[in-house]
Amino acid sequence: MKLVDLNNYILNDFDKNIFKRMTKDSEVNLNNYVCSVICDLVNFIPMGEELKKETKENIKNCDEVEVGEIATYTSLIPYVQLELKDNKDVAIIANSLVEKLISYIVGYLSKEEFDKNLENIQGMLNISYMFYDGLVKYFTFNREYIVSTIDKNIK
């Protein structure tokens, strides 16, 4: 699936706005952004080598849909920040989202809790379930690239 194919999943103006922003750049840059965020979090948060190794294994063991959900979550965080830019708690909310992402990748947050957070992001952005599903499918299609890039860049 190509990024432009997300056009077929648009149901509302919120979907359209995110789609336009995402397609201003290339697919490679979007996928690299997701990989960079995850790698930066894992590489720069103080954690032991064993935990980093486990984190890499957790990511490699994710199935296609899980990788799609992690990448969707990661790709939507900047849009939450943009949507809430006038909210005085935007930094707290964004940091909380990042902490939950890392907690899930490391294995401290359950799948159920992660899914709830993903639903919260979807609700904050008012994106349709159809568009959300399209994003997950897009990233699912790019699983190999995402996982191998993350695996190579977590030190």
Q: What pLDDT digit, counting tens, does each position of 39-96 carry?
A: 999 999 888 889 999 999 999 999 999 999 999 999 999 999 988 888 888 888 888 9
Using a 10 angstrom Cβ sphere, with 0-12 exposed, 13-18 middle and 19 or more buried, the burial of residue 39 is: middle
Domain that holds residue 85: 3-153
Q: Which helix (H) or strand (E) holds 36?
A: helix 27-44
Q: Do the beta carbons of residue 51 and residue 106 sit within 8 Å?
A: yes
Q: What pLDDT digit, counting tens, does each position of 124-155 carry?
A: 999 999 999 999 999 999 999 999 999 999 98
Q: Find tokens 């190509």 and name the residue.
A: 2
The number of domains in the chain is 1
What's the pTM? Answer: 0.94
